[in-house]
Amino acid sequence: MRDSDSMAALLEGKEPIWLPLLSGSMAPALLPGDQLYIDPEKRDPRSGDVAVFFRDGLFFSHRVLVSFLWRRKRYILEKGDANRSASFISSDKVLGTVRKFSRDSRISDLTTIDAVKNSKRAVRQSFLHIFGLRRLY
């Protein structure tokens, strides 16, 4: 994500904004060029949510696999759906949650029942991929 005015607005966390997705790390759910509607008021994402993180001077949009407390601090295990590995990140790096996206002039809501089911499926698939398993028993 590079639009400097939009990035500044996201860092300030004042109002929801639309930003383009630049990488393929969330394919096939989200594709490069999709416009992401990011809600900065939702900075406590749950498992399955796609959150926007700021780390090492870059913005990332990845799926939250799990969130947990450790030594009085909240951490998130995040992973791009197309990535091979996951990363732990401090929850204070979360800038917001992707609530919907636009592709080819069509807006898709990520908070619908079907979208949430698909998100949960993506989380299960990510865990299987991380551990090199075909399925869980």
Q: What is the pLDDT along the chain (137 residues), one digit of tens a residue?
A: 445 666 666 667 778 999 999 999 999 999 999 999 999 988 889 999 999 998 888 889 999 999 999 999 999 999 999 998 899 999 999 999 999 999 999 999 999 989 889 888 888 888 788 777 666 55
| Distance from C-alpha of 40 to C-alpha of 57, rounded to nearest angstrom | 18
CA distance 98 to 18: 9
pTM: 0.84
Domain ranges of the chain: 4-131
Superfamily of the domain at 4-131: Umud Fragment, subunit A (2.10.109.10)
Which of 124, 123, 122 is CA-nearest to residue 136? Answer: 124
Residue that has been written with the tokens 């966390």 in this structure: 13
Locate tokens 């870059």: which residue?
58
